[in-house]
Amino acid sequence: MHWLAIAASAPWVLVPIVTSIRSRHARTLDEVDATAPFDAPLVSVVIPARNESRNIERCVRSVLASTYPRLEVIAVDDHSTDDTGVILARIATEDARLRVVVPPPLPNDWFGKQWACNTGARAATGSVIAFFDADTWQTPDLLTRALNVMHDRNADMVSVLGRQELGTFWERIVQPQMFATIQTRYGGSESINESTRAQDKIANGQCIIVRHDAYVETSGHAAVRNRAAEDLALAQLWFSLGKKCVLVMGVDQLTTRMYTSLAELRAGWGKNIFAAGRETIPFGSIGRFLFPFLLLIPPIAGMAPVVGLVLSLLGVASQAVLIWSAIAFTAGFVWWATIYRWLEMPLRRSLGYALIHPLGAVILFDISLGALIRGRRVRWKDREYVAA
Q: What is the pLDDT of residues 301-314, one digit of tens each?
A: 999 999 999 999 89
Binned at pLDDT 50, 70 and 90, residue 364 comes out as very high
Q: How far apart are CA 75 and CA 253, in angstroms?
A: 21
For 294, the 3-state DSSP assignment is helix
Looking at residue 278, its pLDDT comes to 83
The 10 Å CB-count burial string (b at 16+, else e) for 108-142 is eebbbbbbbbbbbbeebebebbbbbbbbbbbbebb
| Mean pLDDT of the chain, nearest integer | 94
Query: Can you give the length of the chain in residues?
Result: 388
Binned at pLDDT 50, 70 and 90, residue 215 comes out as very high
Would you tell me how many other CB atoms lie within 10 Å of the CB of residue 4? 10
Binned at pLDDT 50, 70 and 90, residue 32 comes out as very high
Looking at residue 3, its pLDDT comes to 80
Number of H helices and E strands in the chain, helices first, is: 15, 12
Look up the pTM and report it. 0.94
Q: What is the pLDDT of residues 372-384, one digit of tens each?
A: 999 999 989 989 9
Output the CA–CA distances (angstroms, integers) from residue 191 to 31, 194, 278, in the order listed. 18, 5, 20
Tell me: pLDDT of 1 over 60. no
Mean pLDDT of 349-361: 96
Q: What is the pLDDT of residues 38-91, one digit of tens each?
A: 899 999 999 999 999 999 999 999 999 999 999 999 999 999 999 999 999 999
The residues with which 129 forms a beta bridge, in sequence order, are 44, 210
Nearest to 149 by CA among 235, 34, 43: 34
Mean pLDDT of 204-210: 97
Q: How far apart are CA 388 and CA 376, in angstroms?
A: 7
Largest CA distance in the chain: 74
Strands of the sheet containing 98-101, edge to edge, are: 98-101, 71-77, 43-49, 128-132, 207-211, 157-161, 245-249
Strands of the sheet containing 163-164, edge to edge, are: 136-138, 254-256, 163-164
Q: How far apart are CA 230 and CA 114, in angstroms?
A: 7
Output the CA–CA distances (angstroms, integers) from residue 166 to 40, 211, 260, 271, in the order listed. 35, 32, 8, 20
Q: How far apart are CA 280 and CA 141, in angstroms?
A: 32
Query: 77 and 102 in contact (C-beta within 8 Å)?
Result: yes
Q: How far apart are CA 369 and CA 89, in angstroms?
A: 42
Looking at residue 288, its pLDDT comes to 82
Q: How far apart are CA 328 and CA 302, in angstroms?
A: 9
Residue 40 CA, distance from chain mean position:
29
DSSP secondary structure, 47-78, as one string: EEESS-TTTHHHHHHHHHT---SSEEEEEEE-
Q: What is the pLDDT of residues 98-157, one digit of tens each?
A: 999 999 999 999 999 999 999 999 999 999 999 999 999 999 999 999 999 999 999 999
Please give the torsion angle defined by the CA atoms of residues 225, 139, 33 and 161, in that order, rounded to the nearest 10 degrees. Answer: -40
Tell me: pLDDT of 284 over 80. no
Q: How far apart are CA 325 and CA 319, in angstroms?
A: 10
Give the DSSP H/E element, type plus range, for residue 383: strand 383-386
Nearest to 48 by CA among 131, 123, 111: 131
